[in-house]
A and B are shown apart, each in its own frame.
Chain A
Amino acid sequence: MIRRQAIVLLALVGLLVATYLWLYKIGMLGELQCGTGSCEYVQTSRFAELFGIPVAFYGVVGYAGLLGLGLAGLQPRFAANRRVGALLATLATAGFAFTLYLTAIELFVLHALCRWCVVSAVIMTAIWVLSIVGLRHPPSMAR
């Protein structure tokens, strides 16, 4: 159960980060607090959109989905449900693959790293690891 709690907490933080980047992208935030990173450069590149939709919005949807599934998985009647675990792992794997793609673009095409994207990548990786481990060792009983 502690793993699902961790997934929920991480998904919430990821949702906040993705929302922050999305709000910037649609012009609701003046600038990104990025320190020495290249957030604005990455966010204004052509890779910051996919099919005309800001990449950050995919993050908002993905993290919201993970958050909703994680919260459902914490309910006593779903705690031992393997389907919830499988759905979590599937969504997390898709998110992790997307994260790998975006990180590769940053490293090998743009040669610039956006700190918030790195934070999101770390969160998504952690969620993916936790969901895969949870798939192999599902919570037996809700306490």
Chain B
Amino acid sequence: MKRFYMLLVAVAVIGGGALWYGSQRPAAPPAPSAPLPVAAAEAFHGYTLGSDSAPIEVTEYSDFECPFCASFATVQMPVIREQLIATGKLRWRFRDFPLPSHKYSRYAAMAAQCAGEQGKFWEMHDQLFNNHQWAQTGKNPRSLFRDFGRAIGLDLDKYDACMDGQRYAARLEASVQEGEALGVRGTPSFFVNGRPYTGRGTSDDFKALADSLTKKHK
């Protein structure tokens, strides 16, 4: 019996030590999951904003957990929407590029896609970027994202079913693969009419670019 208790104490000490050690270590980036078949992505090429007849299309590869993407979405994008997209000069295409170093970016991208299924992609996009504190806490954002969904009027049962079934996992993977094939290495990355954009990514730069491209078209 004494040996049994010694074994018990040994297991408790080793297991408890491993848990303590794990809680002290900084979070390492999660291993990328196995790629899903691109064919399942039903040739989806991202949600767009703006007129189909706009002469210029900007494609943005973005990550919802990336602070630069959040800064761009909250500072530059409102001006771009108002002055370039709403005026028909530009069409904006959003592509997901969740970086493997970000713990919940793929989950956030899935939330936006599941909102998109109910016609509220951009509303969820705005919620995720405007309330970006979730990306700094490192805590599970599931209930917060549901709150975002509730705030924008999603049917939460449908949203939950979509999230639980990982309905758009293949779509997200396809977006990442397409981005990689185009040479995207970080976020946000932009392409203007299919060509890589290397400017500063400010609304002023996009305005100047739109003006110069529009003149060429005329």
- A: which residues have CB within 8 A of B? 5, 8-9, 12-13, 16, 19-20, 23, 25, 27-31, 33, 36, 40-41, 43-48, 74, 109-112, 143
**What is the total number of residues of chain B having a CB less than 8 Å from a CB of chain A?**
32
Given contacts A20-B22, A29-B23, A46-B164, contact A9 B8 (CB under 8 A): yes
Interface code B129-148, partner A: CB below 8 Å = 1, 0 otherwise? 00000000111101000100
Interface code B23-41, partner A: CB below 8 Å = 1, 0 otherwise? 1011110100010000000
Are A41's CB and B166's CB within 8 A?
yes
Query: What total count of A-B pairs have CB within 8 Å?
Result: 70
Using A20-B19, A41-B166 as known contacts, list a sample of 12 further A-B pairs with CB atoms less than 8 Å apart, ordered by residue number in A.
Answer: A12-B15, A13-B11, A20-B22, A27-B138, A27-B139, A28-B23, A29-B27, A31-B103, A40-B30, A44-B107, A44-B140, A112-B166
Q: Give the dominant DSSP class at A's interface.
A: helix
* B99-113 at interface with A (beta carbon < 8 Å): 103-104, 107
Q: Which of A9, A13, A23, A44 contacts B23 (CB 8 A)?
A: A23
Q: Which of A27, A30, A112 contacts B25 (CB 8 A)?
A: A30
Are B4's CB and A5's CB within 8 A?
yes
Are B11's CB and A9's CB within 8 A?
yes
* B1-60 at interface with A (beta carbon < 8 Å): 1, 4, 7-8, 11-12, 15-16, 18-19, 22-23, 25-28, 30, 34
A109: nearest chain-B partner, CB-CB:
B164
Complex interface: chain B residues within 8 A of A36 (CB)? 34
Are A45's CB and B11's CB within 8 A?
no
Are A13's CB and B27's CB within 8 A?
no
- Interchain CA distance A47-B16 in the complex, whole Å: 26
**Closest CB of chain B to A107's CB: distance in Å?**
13
Complex interface: chain B residues within 8 A of A110 (CB)? 164-165
Complex interface: chain B residues within 8 A of A44 (CB)? 104, 107, 140, 142
Are A19's CB and B19's CB within 8 A?
yes
**Closest CB of chain B to A104's CB: distance in Å?**
13
Are B163's CB and A45's CB within 8 A?
yes
Are A16's CB and B19's CB within 8 A?
yes
- Interchain CA distance A143-B1 in the complex, whole Å: 9
